[in-house]
Chain A
Amino acid sequence: MAKIRVVHYINQFFAQIGGEEKADHKPEAREGFVGPGMAFNAAFGDKAEIVATVICGDSYFNENLETATKEVLSMISSYKPDLVIAGPAFNAGRYGMACGTVAAAVKEQLGIPAVTGMYIENPGADGFKTKVHIIATKNSAAGMKDAVAAMVPFALKLVSGEKIGSSAEEGYIPNGIRVNFFEEKRGSERAVDMLLKKLKGEPYVTEFPMPDFDRVPPNKAIKDITKAKIALVTSGGIVPKGNPDHIESSSASKYGKYDINGITDLTEATYETAHGGYDPVYANLDADRVLPVDVLREYETQGKIGSLHRYFYTTVGNGTSVANSKAYALAIGKELVADGVDAVILTST
């Protein structure tokens, strides 16, 4: 049987081109293995072989995400691999993002099995664990040997089309897909063991992590709403007509801040939604349906509220990552507090 053809993706550092000063290194391909590829190649034995290594600087990749992905992908596909290995990236954040992007793109766009490896706290792990298998590694390159030992058999399993077991058996970072398997001990004994560890304050791993709620306790009620300064913030994508800041229709990478001083009504001619996740017809006809400027102006005039804040903030909550949303909220919140806003009406879709 012919050997499985493997292409390995690594960054400038592991290719021994250089550190941060060489992080803008453009993608290049070399035949055979480079750097950590040697260990992989050895572990593959007679089953597989690294036919080429694609190298890219971390800054170049992350700052030119679309073009770099395209370049790397076309280099990879030119070697007609049966399998792609990216990294492992350990705890290097930008390298992790690159490995995740490459591995996921290989899997989705080229339809070729791909696997990468990262430390669980690498931001790339959070970003890509549901898209591609990421083998859990230690947090530094000192864990290379273990990473290779875990990634190689898993990668071969992926290529063979064998059934992939649970994260606990295979060593990948849990990806939200629950897979059954037989433990060595029965559940009751595992429960007693877990309780003893919990009682002693020793680390233990829950078999089912509760969903991450991130609940926010509600603020104290506004004492006198007729004196309060109220702001509007939305994830419904309402923007001035033409979307001047080009907020993306999904996975928004930014939020917008727009002046509504003197505006009493959002009309079809002046506002629209940038959101790509719902039927925009009714929002485009009358954006007040998502961002109720008209009603708040009326209330302002009638003295039902103190005032409407001069700016509204907007982003698109369509596939936008929790991390990004949190960052936007933090920045927006700071400004609102600085501007003396008492309350915020948050609208979604």
Chain B
Amino acid sequence: MKLEIGQIFIRDIQFDAVSRIENNILYVNTQELKALLLEDEHLASVDFEIAKPGEKTRIIPVKDVIEPRVKVEGGGGIFPGVLAKVEAVGSGRTNVLKGAAVVTTGRIVGFQEGIIDMSGPGADYTPFSKLNNLVLICETVDGLKQHAHEKVVRFAGLKTAAYLGRLAKELVADEVKTYETPSVKEGMLKYPDLPRVAYVLMLQSQGLLHDTYVYGVDMKQSLTTMLYPTELMDGAIISGNCVSACDKNTTYHHLNNPVVEDLFAKHGTELNFVGVIITNENVYLADKERSSDWTAKLVELLGVDGVVISQEGFGNPDTDLIMNCKKIEAKGVKTVIITDEYAGRDGASQSLADADASADAVVTGGNANMVIELPPMERIIGHKEAADVIAGGFDGSLKEDGSIVAELQVITGATNELGFNKLSAR
């Protein structure tokens, strides 16, 4: 399967009477977009703000971040099974608004998390401070239950991203990247001497506010299965995950999965990237046993030499991670796992909820308990009252001037377990 990604670099976003992309600037007609979104009767109001890199702006509380994309050639549409019909994606041509993102905010529950600072020390920890963000502030109609509320905001974000993506359908890309995955047989013939590597992608699937959808299927109800890497780039996986801001994988992360990108970078030269195995992180322990058995079986069936395993979330998924690692290593296949740590504020506690000696190659996204001070910002986008909750636990954590003393875990994407960032710990 072969996919071309046409990148259209977006250097600015502005509101305008006509939605379009011109000279690498994204213009948005908010009236038109609003009308489209308000077709959802559960959405009472939606407001738009623009947040640019370097601004003294704080977005709070962040639900999801999504990169606008559009299918130019090839089967299916972006977000198949959710916005587009269920049809296999991942081939042909897709245009991407590189440097832009849709950020959704909404207080779905009273403890909604996630901060993006566009400047200052907090900005160093989130990749989204480097993007031009169109922020959606969503208010739903009264009386909506939490799960319905989450869905409304999730869809508002996806629809907005698709709307903006469509503006790039006819554009000539600034840069084109090609990704190709041969069949297992072709790959073996083509690269007989290269180590064969698969990617095990663990998806959050514990339930309400902890869900991930694959072609529209709730991942907690799926068995471990396989995808072509390029299917991710067309939005086969979307996030319904609202909790643990620092190590949840947003839809943006899934579209730009860094392990996929970095395995492709060495594909054909140093390794043979065979494919992506997706598995879940359920609450029921027997589900974990089944899913990790299945993961190890697929790895064995593919006959690969090594795998990278990535994680999502805190606590419970540590058990899935270790089960996957242990069972795959037991098949004689080499593993590297990517996780993050909860080593306490002093960094002195045991970092993971589970551990095993077979997990002897670990990449960490850093200690999420590290305390950070976020200075006051001139503009707060979203729901100000969430700041007090996010700052959370201890007196003086939200100061009168608006500065926040909190743990790194409040920052969206800070300790990402796909290895999206440079942050680490020793």
Contact = CB atoms under 8 A, between A and B. Distances in A.
Contact between A and B in the complex (any CB pair below 8 Å): yes
Interface of A: 166-169, 174, 176-192, 194-196, 198-199, 204, 206-211, 213
6 contacts: A167-B426, A178-B351, A188-B261, A196-B195, A206-B360, A208-B341
Contact of A196 (B270, B307, B416, B425): B270
A169 B425 CA distance: 10
Nearest to A184: B422
A192 B262 contact: yes
A181 B363 contact: no
A272 to B, nearest CB: 34
A191 B305 contact: no
A189 B360 contact: no
Interface string B243-278: 000000000000000110111011000110000000
Given A177-B348, A187-B422, A191-B308, A208 B259 contact: no
B408 to A, nearest CB: 7
Contacts of A184: 422
A192 B355 contact: no
B80 interface: no
A181 B343 CA distance: 14
Contacts of B270: 196
B271 A207 contact: no
B423 A180 contact: yes
Contact of A181 (B338, B352, B408, B425): B425
B416 to A, nearest CB: 7
A115 B350 CA distance: 25
A190 B420 CA distance: 11
Nearest to B366: A180
A192 B43 CA distance: 43
Q: Most chain-B CB neighbours within 10 Å: which of A169, A184, A194, A204?
A: A194
B424 A182 contact: yes
B271 A180 contact: no
B273 to A, nearest CB: 9
A189 B338 CA distance: 11
Given A195-B361, A198-B306, A207-B424, A186 B336 contact: no
Interface residues of B, number: 54
Contact of A188 (B197, B271, B338): B338
B132 to A, nearest CB: 21
Contacts of A179: 347, 367, 425-426
A194 B426 contact: no
Interface string B401-426: 00000001000000010111111111
A71 B173 CA distance: 75
Nearest to B369: A178
A178 B259 contact: no
B224 interface: no
B364 A207 contact: yes
Q: Most chain-A CB neighbours within 10 Å: which of B270, B370, B416, B425?
A: B425
B217 interface: no
A208 B334 contact: no
Given A195-B306, A210-B356, A181 B424 contact: yes
A182 to B, nearest CB: 5
B308 A207 contact: no
Contacts of A206: 360-362
B295 to A, nearest CB: 16
Contact of A195 (B308, B341, B350): B308
A195 B334 contact: yes
A177 B346 contact: yes
Contacts of B357: 210, 213
A123 B27 CA distance: 65
A16 to B, nearest CB: 37
8 pairs of A and B residues whose beta carbons are closest in the complex: A187-B419, A188-B419, A188-B258, A178-B347, A166-B426, A178-B343, A168-B426, A208-B362
Contact of A199 (B195, B347, B355, B420): B195
B363 A190 contact: yes
B365 interface: yes
A195 to B, nearest CB: 4
B359 interface: yes
Given A186-B258, A207-B424, A208-B362, 7 more contacts: A178-B426, A189-B419, A191-B363, A208-B341, A209-B362, A210-B362, A211-B350
Contacts of A196: 195, 266, 270-271
Given A166-B425, A186-B258, A207-B424, A191 B341 contact: no
Contacts of A191: 259, 262, 308, 310, 336, 338, 363, 419
A199 B306 contact: yes
Nearest to B360: A206
Interface in B296-324: 305-308, 310
Contacts of A169: 426
